[in-house]
Structure formats: C-alpha cells, structure tokens
Structure 1
Amino acid sequence: MVPSDYDNDELIFQDEDAPGEGDEEHYRVWNILIVDDDEEIHTVTRLALSDLIVSDRKLNFLHAYTGAQALEVLEEHKRDIAIILLDVVMETDDAGLNVVKHMREQMHLLEPRIILRTGQPGYAPEEQVIKTYDINDYKTKTELTRGKLMTAVIASIRSYQQLRTINQSRIGLQKIIQSAANLLEEHSVKGYCEGIVTQITSLIGLEAEGVVCARAGSVLDKEDDEGVYILGAAGEFASYINERVEQIHNPVIVEHINRCLKFQKHVFEHSFSVLYINSSGFEAAVYVNMRHELSELDRQLLEIFLSSVSVGYENVNLFHQLRNAAFRDWLTRLPNRNEFINMLDRPHQIESTSGVTMALVDINHFSDINDGLGQEAGNEVLSAVSNRLLEAFGPDVKKGRIGADVFGLIGEQSIVNPEKINAVFESSFIAGDHTLPINVTIGLTRLTGERNKGTIILKQSNIALNRAKKNLTDNYEFFAPEIEEKTTWRLSMIRRLRTDFADRKLQLWFQPQVDLISEKVVGMEGLLRWPDSDGSYISPAVFVPLAEYSGLIVDIGQWVLEESCARIRQLKDAGYGHLRVAVNISIPQFRDRFFVDKVKGAIEKNGIDPTLLELEITESVVMDEPQIVIDALRALKEYGVAIAIDDFGTGFSSMSYLQQLPLDRLKVDRSFVSDIQPGSNAFIAETIVTLGNKLGLSTIAEGVEKREQASYMLKLGCDEAQGYLFARPMPFDQLMIFLDDANS
C-alpha cells in the first residue's frame, strides 16, 4: 500500500458529500476514470476493484464511453482524477490516443496516470508514444487479470501520489524563490547560509564578516553527531566551511555561538552579534562581526528578517528532501533511474584498470511473487535483493534500482560480470515468512572511452537484456552494435508494415490446388504478399514474425479472412462455385475472443457457403493454446467451415490433441515431399498419408515440383497436391485467367 504521508492532498479526493458507490461517504477516495465503449468492461473493472483500499481510501469510479465523453469528464473534474483506465480503440482506431494527446498537450494534465487497455493488440501504441505522453502501462484486455489490474492500479496511485507531492512542493518553492531570489539562488543549505550573512549585512548597511553555524544533529548526513559545524561563512572565516566551529581558534566566537544555541536567544555585544534561528527543530546561530553597535531599529529589523529567514531555511531543507526523493528509490534507498543515468554520464569518476561495465539485473517472474504472495512480499524481496547487492559489491560499484524489478550496477569489469552477479543469487532470499529462490537475467554493456549519454548506455544494456531473455543457454548477454542495428531494423520494418497495411498495399495471392488423379483445380491457398519499394516482395518468413511481434497479425489475419471470403464470392459469380480457399490462422487470432464471430461475420457478409472456406493451422498453434484452438475450431466446424493441419509432421503435436481436432485435411509438408527422389523411399510422407486415410481425412502434398513426386504421392494414396509443377502463386486476376484457360 502507499504510505500515508499524503493525507492532506485534498485535490485527490472528493468532498465527504460527493457522490460515490456504497458507503464511500465515510472514505476519502481516489477518482478512477474508466473510458471504454464496452459496458461490460466498466462493470467488470468496477467489480474487480470495488474492495480495493489504497492508503485507507477507496476508489470512486467515473465513466465515459467515447473519447469525447472522456474529455468532458476530464474538463469537469480537472485535477481530481488519479488514474485513467483507457481503451485505445473506441469510436475510432486512435480515439484513446487522441484523448491522451489532448489531455497532456491541450489541458496540461500531467499528473493523472494512464493505463491503456485494448482488445485489439494491433493498435498498440509505439514506444515513442508511451514515452511522449507519459503512459504508465499498456495491457491487452485478455491478459489483464484481476491481480494484474490491482497491481497496476496500486503502482499508478503510488506514482500519482509522488508526482502530486513533488509538484505541490515545487509550486511552494517557486513562490519562495520569487520572493527571495537572491537568497535561494544556489539551492543548497550551504549556499543559503552563506546568503544569510550577505543578506543581513546588506539589510542593515554594514560591512561585516561572519559565520553561520548549526547543530550537526539537524544536518541530514550527520544525524549522530552533536557537534556544531560551520555551514556558511564570509571574509576571513570562509575557509572553515564544513569544519567544526572550534577549528576557527577564536574562543570569543566559539563561546558566544555555543551560548546562543544553549540559551536559544540572540546575543548582542558591542563589536558583534550572534543571531538565533529556530524553525521546525532546526537551530542555527549566525555570528556577525560588527564595526559599531547595532541600533534598536537595526535589532528589530534583524529579528523580523530572521523570522522570515527561519521559514526560508525550512523550505531550503524541504527542497533538499525533495531533491533526494527525486533521485532515490523510496523502497531500497538506492539511486533511482534518474540518478543512475546521471552516474552513467560520469563514468570517468569510476576508478578502473580493466575497463568499466554497466549491468542490468532483471528478476525473473517477479510478477508471480506479487500476484501469488502479495505486494508486501514483493517489496520484501526487492529489499532483500538490494541488501545483498550492497553486501556483495563494495562502494566502488555504483548501484541503483532502475525499474520495478530491475537493478543496475556500474563498476570495473573484473567485478561487474555475469559470474559474480550470478553468485549473488545462488542462495535463496528471505522475504517475511517466505524463503524464495531468485533467478535473474543480465544485460551488460562495456563502457568505452567515448563520452556517451547515460540514456544511450542504459538503452544498450536494455537491448542486451532483452536479447538475454531469448538466450537458451546463458542468462546474460553483452551489448554489441549489431544487436542494436537488428533491433532498429526490426522497429523500422514494423513501422513500414503498419503503414503499408493501413495504406492497403498488402496483397493476397492464390496458389491452385489440384486433384492428383484428374489434375483439375479443386481449390487454392491464399498467400499474403508484401511488395517492396524496388518492385520485389518481402518474404513472409521475414514479415510474418514481425506482424506477430507487433500484434498486427490479428488485423492482417482478419483482412485476409475477409478478402478470401470476398474472392470466394467472385469465384462463384464467375462459375467456379465449387472451389474452396484455404487461409492460414495464427495463434494471436485464436486468442481474440471474437475470432469465431469474426469468421462467421466474414462468411455471412459475402453470402458464401462456409464449406468453401478452409482454415489452416500449424501443429505449433495447436500446442501453444490447445483448448482455445480446439474450442474455436469445433464451433467453426459445426458452422460448416473446413479445417486443415498445415505443415503436418514438422512439429511435435500430441496425438491426443490431434484426435480432438475436427479436421478435414492433412497437408504433407514440402520438406517431406522434396525427399522423394528416383529410387528413394519417402517414409514420412507415406506415414502421413496412411495416417490420414486411417483417420478418414483427405491429404494434400505441398511443394510438388517434379512429375515423379506427383506420381509417387498418387501411388501412396494422396488425394491432392499443390506446387510449382501445377501452378505458382498468382494475383487473383491472373488466377481467373488460369482457371479459364484450364477449362477451355
């Protein structure tokens, strides 16, 4: 839960008589704005979070169903909203992002935290959008469980609290700086105290030299030291700043400073004065060396001035506390991401004989600890990891907490390396009543002599970390320039793919499938093509993984379905109503809870026979989410849609799952067909055809390029074939010509 230090933050909460749900009049509340065009999402979200109490405050829900309504609610409530749970796609594909842009740029609402949600991963915002508009989190609705939603809300409220605290304190400091600009110009306790001497002497028109002293107990970094230290000085005493007052070897000054602090009052003598400051537990004695006695009016002016100075000093200390908070992690007290980047900007300050390495250490499956044991246990794990890193790596290694479960290290390569980091996690960690083994993934960057920005070094280590998560042999990876180049290329290609898809530049080609006995066309497979700028085509082996990685595969797959159904209708109108069209389906499409309805909708929209649409799935798709796939295919099979297994025999599918699938056809993969050579025995191809016959399924051979391959497959009892021997993939217009020629 969030600390209760922010109880007086009135802007966050409704008044006691504000409308709420249930008995919220007994609580001050966090306002949560839910923006979604689906009423069910509002209901489910409200129910999931109804019992959540953060820092002794319940949640109060505001509702909007369009982007326009959301802006109206934001305009009405202004700065009273803590979190916005925002759907990306509503009345338009970018309605949610337009709301974000308007509230940040036009309404200047920078404090409310934003959690984007969508049922259509293809409309996920780009990384730059998330950074530019300060979006806290992005989740698809299917992955946002109650536990993850609660975790995201709690973390966002904490972030909101911190922003509110810092911003409100910043506003207060700005007012003080505006009224006493010279006094607070240096933004430091020492500079402030030096300013006191200058301001006092300037106020009463004296040429004076003096020192500013304070009890060390009121200095944050010397809490256990009760000595009196010189914080600021002028003239001949300036060289004693930060030294104990006894070091100035002037018994008169030492005696009267101690006297002032002991009796807690001003001391006025003929040749000097010692002025007492006390504000919020801070005590200071200001010694001023005079050339003449102060008049009564001067004394009154000084007392008035010191009254204001005490308030000013309190705010200077507040400034330092806030500055510390801005660069320190609240839980572990390690430097946070901002301060860690500052340290990376100064690698030359790290002594090294073998070179300097920066490492990101990511705790694996940390969300499982939060979800399973609770956030308190998660916080205890983070504290335990922090403590062990402090113990294992000495003061020469810079440390920081970079993210929720990510720590950073900067140090000599002989110390900051995978072996020594992994050694830290060899034994389990104690978190309350739990003893937990912790595994980590490590991304490392060797710092060169070049002066790179800290943000660049951190980005490089993050790239290495992401690469390490895909490493099957080791849990670490060092950054190399080619990794960044590949990442940059992938992001560039994804942007191109998204743009070309939006501009309808993708094409659907068709490759005929023939009956092996008559060699007449019985159907065709729809194949996606992406034209390149030079007139060539980008391979599906390149762009399909990119589409899956970016979430675009769902929208592209739906377009292929609709385009195929439209082409089936055109074939029927042209007299080829008996020809089927096969379409490949990916696992992200099955995860879409509206997938079955979308397939039916495409069929009904075009008024076609569902048996003419064949859905092709690979074995890997079945094994990834078996029950989801089986349920969807059964529903579509009952509707009349044909089902085929593509590339059969290349995966490791379970026969138990295979028997549960409502299949019509097995496709023998081209790799097994290519094994067919004169005098050879293609055992696997024969096995697949035999299995298909035993299960009562049709079989079709892919990649048939030679006559002997077609003859062999026919001999085995294979029903159909597809390959260059009969026809290459072609645009739909050429397909129509091909069909007309074949029937002439």
Structure 2
Amino acid sequence: MNATSPDHDTLRLSDEPEESGEALQRWRILVVDDEQDVHLATAFALRDSLILDRELEFLHAYNGQEALNILSRESDIAVVLLDVVMQGDDDGLKVAHAIRNQLNLQELRIVLRTGHPGYAPEYQVIRDYGINDYKTKSDLSQIRLLTTLTTAIRSYQQLKIINASRRGLALIVEASGQLFERRSFESFTGRVLADMAALLGLPLAGLICVHNPGSPGFQPPHAWTITSAIGALDKRIGQPLNAINDIELTNTIEHAIRSRSTLFTDEYVVLYVSRPSEQEAVIYLHTGRPLDDIEQQLLDVFCSNIAIGLENIALFQQLQELAYSDPLCHIANRTQFVSQLDQLRAGAQGDECVLMIDVDHFSQINDALGHLIGDQLLQSITLRLRALIPQGIVLARVDVDVFALAGRAGELDIPQILAAFSRPFAVASHQLRVQVTTAAARLADTEADGLGCLKDVTIALNLAKQSARGGVMWYSPAMSRASRQRLNLLNDLESAIANRLLTVFYQPQIELSTGRVIAVEALTRWPLSDGQYVPPDQFIPLAEQSGLIIELGDWLLDNICKQIAIWRDQGFGELRVAINVSMVQFNHEGLTDLLASALRRYQIPPELIEIEITESVAMHNPEDVIARIDQLKKLGVQVAIDDFGTGFSSLAYLQRLKADRLKIDRAFIRDMGTGETSIAEMVINLGHKLGIKVLAEGVEFPAQAAILRSLGCDEAQGYLYAKPAPPGPLTVWFGETGLKV
C-alpha cells in the first residue's frame, strides 16, 4: 500500500516547501512494543508515507530498557510510539518517565499505545508522565496513525525551531557581550567568524573585509581590506580584497557590496553589514550546505549586533585618538607622552633624556593677535621641531604652550633645538620671534614611572621660569626634595592657621627725640612643638603664593585688635600698632570692610592702626594703590611705606599716596657703620619735605641712633631698643625700662 497514491488517504502539507536534493531528511520514529506483529503492522501501514515532505525512518525496541538504550545513543528521534504494558504492567509509563526526567528529552513526542482501554486513566497519564497523546491500538487505523504522527511531528518540529531559536539567541547574546569588549577591528572580526561558525555548527571557514568612508559611490575591491580570515584565506589578512585568487568569490562579494544586500547560496553566505558611521563590512562564510529559515534569521539578528559592535570600535578608536593625541598639533598629548615615557624607561639604556619647552609670554600673543594666530604659531613650532628630531624621539604637547621631547641623549640635540627658536616664525602676515624657557632631565635621575618623570621635569621648568628664563634648567633630585618639603610646610601651615597655632610678637618703635615708645610693629610667628620657630621668610611667601595669606591676615587683624583693646584697658591707650600687609592682602576687596568691622567689634580708635605696605607694592599699580589708601584714610587708619629706598618710586606718586610714615630699609641703616649716610639722609629730607614722618628700621647700635638723631630722623626700631616679644613680656618690659608709652 502506497500512502502517497491518489487511491489512499495520504498526508502532504501543501503549505510546506519541498526540499531540494536527492536524499531527503527523514523523520525518525521509535516503535516500542513487546509484540513483533505491532512493529510489522506499524511499518507496513506507514510504508512510503511522507509527512511534512519527509519520509519516515523506523527504529525498533522490544522492551523498556532497549528503548532507553536507543534513545540515549541516537539523535533526532521525533516520535516514540510506546506500548503501556510490556514485561510489566507499567513498563511504558516507566519509560516515559525516564525519557523526560533521566534523558531530558523534552522535544521528543510520546504517543502512548495500549491494548487495554481504561487500564490507566488518560488524563492522569498525560499529566504525570509527559505523554503527548494516548491511543488504543484498535483505534489506530492507517489514517488515524498518520494523523497522530503528523500532529506529533509538527509539534516536534515547532519545538525544535523554538528551542533552536532560543539557543541561537542565547548564543548571540553571549557572543555579543564578548564582542563588545573588543577594541580593535582585527580582534573583533576574528571573534565574529568564530561565533558565527559556532552559531551554525559549521567548520571555521570564511573572511571579513571592511571599508572606511571615502569618496561616495561604489568602492573597488582594492579599497576593501581583509581584517580577518579563517581557513584557506587566512594568509590574506591585511591585504586588499582583490588579492584573493578566486574570481567567483571576489565577484560574489563585489555583488553584495554593490547591491548592499546579503546573499544566501547552497554553499556559502555573504553578509553585508552597514554601520551608522558610513563604514561598511562584508562577511563571507563557507557553509557547505543551505541554511534554513531559522539560521538565516539568526544571522540577520547577529549582523545587527555586529554592526553595533563595529560602530562601538570606531567610536572607541575616535575616543582613543582624542584621549592620546593633541587635536591641534597632531602629536602625542600629555597622557600618551606619560605612557611613552613608561615604555622608554622599560627599555632604557642609561642615556635617555627628557626636554620640556615652555613658550614664554604665549598668552600675550593670544591677547594681542587672537587665538587663531596663537594656534598657528603652535603648529609652526611643531613642524619645526619635527624637522629637527630623528624618528626615535618622542614629541608631545603636554600643556597649552609647553612641548616635551624624550629619547636617547645622542639623538636629542638640545642646543640645536634651542637654536631653532632664534629664527622668527612666519604666521599669517606676522613674523613672530619666540623666546622659550626649557628644563631637561636624565631619565635615570627622575622617578621610576612616566607620570613621576614628567612631574620632576615640570619642577625644574617652574624653577627655570622663576630664575633662568631663556636658558636650560637641568633637574636634580634635590629639587623634588625641596618641592616635597615646601608642600609639607604648606600642609602644616594650613593646619596651624586652622588650629590657631600661630602667635603675634610685637617690636617697639621709639620716638628718637624723647625715647618714648610710640608704637609697636606686629610680627607673625609660627612656633613649633620643640620650641623652635619657622622663619617668617619661609612661611609668609608660601602663604602668599597659596592664598592662605587672606585667612592668616583675617586672624592676625582680629588678634591685634583684641590686644590693642587689652592694652587700652591696662592704660596704654595711645599705643599704635603697625601691621604688615602683603600685596595679596592689600589688593583683597574685603580688606577695608574687615578692618572696619574689627575696629567696631573691639571699639578701637582707627588712628591706633597703621597699615604697612612695601614700596614695591605701592608702585605695582599706583592708581589702584592710591584709591585703596584713600579708602583706608577715610576709615581713619594710618599708612606707612615699608622698605623705602629699595625701589624706584615716582616722587609724583609718592606725594599722591598721602602716606603717614616712610620706613628706611635696614640695609641703609647697616651701611651707616661704614660712614654711608647719604641715602638715609635723602629719605629723611624727602619725607620731611612731603610732611611725612620717617622711621629707621634695624637700629642695633647707639652710634646708628646718634647719627639718625643728627639727621633729624623721627623714629627708630631695632634690637638696640627691644627684640620682638609676646604681649605679656612686652607689657612688663614697658614698666621695667621706664620707657613711657
């Protein structure tokens, strides 16, 4: 009986396509029954039948154990026709249980057949044993048998498709996560081929070629580069597409490129991958067989992830370029230079050097000519440096106007590099002459890592800008030690100010004509736990440079005003206090308000406060200084010009400053011992001509005091009279010496 003849009931589904090829795949059916006749009858009834366009292949088992053995070693069995009662009354149920729970065959369909209707409750069996259908043997005519098998096979096929899709998608998700970790086209594309082969269960054979955006339109094969290949084409990695000696393959890939589409054939697929950045990729994969619909759909999904992955790599490379390259001069930036220093040190031979070049007054060029000219100047400097240095020298821009070079000392010709800046740079219509300040270091003298090395050379460069502009400052480890000491001192100073560990000493100022104490100068002191003091010339400049001087000045002013109030209560109501104010403090907008607030808080007459500024501060921005002094004078405080004679004051400005006192610098008082009195005499006469009192600092000997009296100097201050002291001992001293306040 032929089940496919028109004379019999047959089953061929018209909505399923026929498979090509001579040998059709078969549905494998396992018949499990202890009766030989059942096996023969089943095979006879279904001979030559096609179900879903496939023939049937029968496997036979005559007891439960034999069935389980077959199922454990054979694959792709679609349906088991299983007898309930064999050697035992429930052998079939035991086999069904083992199929689901021991062999874990969930896609396999189980049709339970029994010759004893009602032996086992149908619903209970289907529920508890994973049975898909339950039939009595007497009911299984040819048509019903075909119908039952068709239903079971269709269910098996759908489950296979669903599970294959699920496994494929899971593999795609896992593979995509790993792909997105790749950071180069070569690494990424190599992984893509391996994952595709695993997805389809195919041997590794294929290639990937990519094209970066260029001119619009179709790009010829030589514009495409093979970035990865597995199998016979693996020797073509890095070569253009037209290097493949297979015209048919090249033409097929070209067709996919031209049509921007994917091609599926019986032997291979060519996948076109388009990326948002207008970069393209083509994947050729040798399959050796046609891919089914599910496999094609999985490849489409995977290609979408590949496109995203390729875009991520392109973005990562752009970020790498931004992170490690200077976008203006197209040389290494600071980050890359540090990395290159690490590499240089790893292979160091002992004579490597680092050179840093700072373009002096670059900001003035930007201010005067604009940033465009400034940028072009930096580019011109880059070109000139590149022309001077050999291939092995690293060139970088590590700051706005700072370049750095590193390499072997024999190749880094520092005099030649510096000489290059003696010629002007032609920028637009300008001929710009540039002066540079440089610092250099032997790599072996610096810290062991690139960042530390750059830090050390920067220390030398900063020192060069302070004292050796236009020259070369060679780094020494002592510079780093001094820098660390300075930083430690700064941290300690910040802590000392915050914890009120500083104190104020006072040094008396004497009226020379009467010997009377008329004022004291407030001097900040920093005591240490061992009884020593940090010299003011160490911590005061540090406070000014760091900005701590504002906080220090606020504390100092409050402390002094409080002490003036105490002295007033003790009967020293006319004692004036002179306070040194740095340039940073004097220029601070809040100085006048802060002073006024302290005077009100302690109810002090403003004339008891004298603000001292140095001559250099007074002449820094004279108009601004005059305005600030006017504010102080309106408040009622006095103003003194300290260190007078050391600068080059304009007499016109000096008259406009309306100072109350000039202080002759101690250096001129010291010179009196050699008979030199002209400068002191000039200052005294100048002050008197302008109606300003004059005070001499650093008076240590009676002879100096006598000369100053003879010259008409008004006041004096120095060790001859008293050293700076804390308020308590100084108050006692006032009474013991008989000096009247």
**By the TM > 0.5 criterion, same fold?**
yes
Cα distance 1:590–1:269, how it changes in 2: closer, same or farther (>3 A)? same
Q: Are positions 1:555 and 2:521 aligned together?
A: no
The 5-angstrom pairing of residues 109-508 of structure 1 reads 180-215=176-211, 226-245=222-241, 253-254=249-250, 256-258=252-254, 260-261=256-257, 264-266=260-262, 268=264, 271-280=267-276, 281-295=278-292, 297-347=294-344, 355-432=351-428, 434-448=430-444, 452-472=448-468, 474-508=470-504
1:710 corresponds to which of 696, 705, 710: 705
Contact 1:512–1:722, Cα closer than 8 Å, also in 2: yes
Q: Which amino acid aligns with 2:733?
A: F
Root-mean-square deviation (Å): 3.2
The DSSP-based 3-state class of the residue aligned with 2:724 is: coil
1:300 is displaced (CA, Å) by 4.7
The DSSP-based 3-state class of the residue aligned with 1:438 is: coil
Distance 2:554 2:713 in 1: 31
Q: Which amino acid aligns with 1:331?
A: L
Cα distance 1:728–1:284, how it changes in 2: closer, same or farther (>3 A)? closer
| Alignment partner, residue 572 of structure 2 | 576
Q: Which amino acid aligns with 1:193?
A: T
1:651 corresponds to which of 643, 647, 650: 647
Q: Which amino acid aligns with 1:675?
A: D
Contact 2:221–2:241, Cα closer than 8 Å, also in 1: no
Distance 1:196 1:687 in 2: 90
Q: Deviations over 1:44-87 (max 9, x none)?
A: xxxxxxxxxxxxxxxxxxxxxxxxxxxxxxxxxxxxxxxxxxxx
1:239 is displaced (CA, Å) by 4.0
1:249 is displaced (CA, Å) by 5.0
Distance 1:450 1:737 in 2: 55
1:557 is displaced (CA, Å) by 2.6
Q: Are positions 1:529 and 2:555 aligned together?
A: no
1:510 corresponds to which of 506, 509, 512: 506
Q: Which amino acid aligns with 1:321?
A: Q
> Identical aligned pairs, as a percentage?
35
Question: Which stretch of the first structure deviates more once superposed, 708-717 or 432-441?
Answer: 432-441
| Alignment partner, residue 631 of structure 2 | 635
**TM-score, structure 1 as length reference:** 0.69
Cα distance 1:565–1:185, how it changes in 2: closer, same or farther (>3 A)? closer
| Alignment partner, residue 608 of structure 1 | 604
Contact 1:418–1:476, Cα closer than 8 Å, also in 2: no
In the alignment, structure 1 segments of 5+ residues that lack a partner are 1-175
Distance 2:724 2:531 in 1: 17
1:449 is displaced (CA, Å) by 8.9
| Alignment partner, residue 725 of structure 1 | 720
Distance 2:556 2:425 in 1: 51
| Alignment partner, residue 664 of structure 1 | 660
| Alignment partner, residue 541 of structure 2 | 545
1:666 is displaced (CA, Å) by 2.6
Q: Deviations over 1:122-179 (max 9, x none)?
A: xxxxxxxxxxxxxxxxxxxxxxxxxxxxxxxxxxxxxxxxxxxxxxxxxxxxxx9987
Q: Deviations over 1:245-292 (max 9, x none)?
A: 565655665554455545555555555444433444434333333444
Contact 1:270–1:293, Cα closer than 8 Å, also in 2: yes
Cα distance 1:451–1:523, how it changes in 2: closer, same or farther (>3 A)? closer
| Alignment partner, residue 697 of structure 1 | 692
Cα distance 1:285–1:510, how it changes in 2: closer, same or farther (>3 A)? closer
Question: Which stretch of the first structure deviates more once superposed, 665-674 or 432-441?
Answer: 432-441
Distance 2:694 2:667 in 1: 15
Distance 1:451 1:631 in 2: 50
Contact 1:361–1:407, Cα closer than 8 Å, also in 2: yes
Distance 1:191 1:498 in 2: 53
Q: How many residues align?
A: 564
Q: Which amino acid aligns with 1:546?
A: L
1:206 is displaced (CA, Å) by 1.1
Distance 2:454 2:195 in 1: 44
Q: Which amino acid aligns with 1:312?
A: G
Contact 2:445–2:477, Cα closer than 8 Å, also in 1: no
Q: Deviations over 1:212-241 (max 9, x none)?
A: 23347679xxx9993443211224543432
1:626 corresponds to which of 622, 629, 640: 622
1:733 is displaced (CA, Å) by 0.9
Contact 1:208–1:291, Cα closer than 8 Å, also in 2: no
Contact 2:612–2:640, Cα closer than 8 Å, also in 1: yes
| Alignment partner, residue 60 of structure 1 | none
1:727 is displaced (CA, Å) by 1.6
The DSSP-based 3-state class of the residue aligned with 1:206 is: coil
Distance 2:579 2:304 in 1: 81
Distance 1:587 1:255 in 2: 80
Distance 1:371 1:680 in 2: 51
Contact 1:615–1:643, Cα closer than 8 Å, also in 2: yes
Contact 2:695–2:717, Cα closer than 8 Å, also in 1: yes
Question: Which stretch of the first structure deviates more once superposed, 367-376 or 618-627?
Answer: 367-376
Distance 1:617 1:275 in 2: 80
Cα distance 1:275–1:614, how it changes in 2: closer, same or farther (>3 A)? closer
Contact 2:189–2:228, Cα closer than 8 Å, also in 1: yes
Q: Are positions 1:740 and 2:735 aligned together?
A: yes
| Alignment partner, residue 44 of structure 1 | none
Q: Are positions 1:585 and 2:581 aligned together?
A: yes
Q: Which amino acid aligns with 1:208?
A: L
Q: Which amino acid aligns with 1:736?
A: T
Distance 1:468 1:302 in 2: 64
Contact 2:176–2:306, Cα closer than 8 Å, also in 1: no
The 5-angstrom pairing of residues 47-126 of structure 1 reads none
| Alignment partner, residue 41 of structure 2 | none
| Alignment partner, residue 133 of structure 1 | none
Instruction: From the CA coordinates, give the structure whose radius of gyration is larger.
Output: 2
In the alignment, structure 2 segments of 5+ residues that lack a partner are 1-171
1:527 is displaced (CA, Å) by 1.3
Contact 1:183–1:199, Cα closer than 8 Å, also in 2: no
Cα distance 1:186–1:721, how it changes in 2: closer, same or farther (>3 A)? same
Distance 1:438 1:501 in 2: 43
Q: Which amino acid aligns with 2:579?
A: V
Distance 1:179 1:368 in 2: 56
The DSSP-based 3-state class of the residue aligned with 2:179 is: coil
Cα distance 1:316–1:514, how it changes in 2: closer, same or farther (>3 A)? closer
1:589 is displaced (CA, Å) by 1.7
The DSSP-based 3-state class of the residue aligned with 1:645 is: strand
